[in-house]
Amino acid sequence: MVTKKVTRSVERNEVIAAEPTESLAAALDIDLPHAAGDTVPPLWHWTYLLERGPGQELGEDGHPVTGIPAPPGPGRRRMFGGGRVTTLGELVIGELATKVTSIRSSVGKTGRTGPLTLTTVLQEIFQGGELVIREEQDIVYRAPGSGTLPPPPTAPPAPAGPTLDLAVDERLLFRFSALTYNAHRIHYDVDWCKQEGYDGLVIHGPLLALMMGEHFRRQGIDLRGRTFAYRFVSPLTKPQTITVVPGADGLERGTEARGASGTVAAVSTLTEA
């Protein structure tokens, strides 16, 4: 196993606009205040401070081939493995914010599908001179030609407690890709999905994570001062209704995102920062 530490970073500055919050709320069929001075809900920062490179910097799969992160070699297939978001404050609409992105580590190893590179990206968002959000994202690069993904494990019955449903179809996938500036073809190109081993359009991992966070928020559980850790267990494909349920230790400590068949697609935990 080889670990490389990279110190290069990229900084982006922008005024936190109302439109991304307005647009994401509309995509989720909810109403949220989004005027100047209002705050952006936890995890909704994924629609802000995005890198917007030119089309010529995109690989065949739709992911950038330069920048942070960049694939470790040609033909590598990118997967989002999970991450950790520590919410120290809330972004305020109408005020300038800065995001600093860097590579925390990059590790080469061998997994079930062959050679893998695990890259952890660090993102820190500042507003008003204060660190508001600290996030680590775990990106997995699979070797080309690694074939169909293994079937999901059998899921136990969902824990009891309040649930949150979201009907996901091609229209929502399109809107979420646009809002997060994500050109990965597995979310809109059925033929490309087959090349990467999927049997249909893939529901975005960040959308599953966002809904797990939304279940906390809508149940009155504050993410401020806490670390929301999430991990993607099994991809969900094709239009279906996803359901967020409490985790095994109760809603105060975690959630699960499940597919229509009960498959556990993602899990999260909530701990003190």
pLDDT recorded at residue 2: 38
What domains appear along the chain, each with residue ranges and CATH number? 2-272 (3.10.129.10)
Query: What's the per-residue H, E or C state across 64-109?
Result: ECCCCCCCCCCCCEEEEEEEEEEECCCCECCCEEEEEEEEEEEEEE
pLDDT recorded at residue 84: 98
Angstrom distances, CA of residue 81 to CA of 117, 120, 123, 156, 169: 11, 10, 16, 22, 22
pLDDT recorded at residue 5: 43
pLDDT recorded at residue 148: 63
Q: Mapping DSSP to helix (H, G, I), strand (E, B) and coil, where does residue 25 land?
A: helix
- Would you write out the chain's pLDDT as a tens digit for each of its 273 residues? 333 444 588 999 999 999 999 999 999 999 999 999 999 999 999 999 999 989 999 999 998 888 888 788 777 788 899 999 999 999 999 999 999 999 998 888 876 667 888 999 999 999 999 999 999 999 998 877 655 666 776 778 888 899 999 999 999 999 999 999 999 999 999 999 998 889 999 999 999 999 999 999 999 999 999 999 999 999 999 999 999 999 999 999 999 999 999 999 999 999 998
Are the beta carbons of 125 and 132 closer than 8 angstroms?
yes
pLDDT recorded at residue 98: 98
By C-alpha distance, which of 183, 180, 250 is closest to 209?
A: 180
Give the DSSP H/E element, type plus range, for residue 266.
strand 264-272
Amino acid at 78: R
Q: Of how many residues is the chain composed?
A: 273
Burial of 115 (0-12, 13-18, 19+ CB in 10 A): middle
pLDDT recorded at residue 116: 85
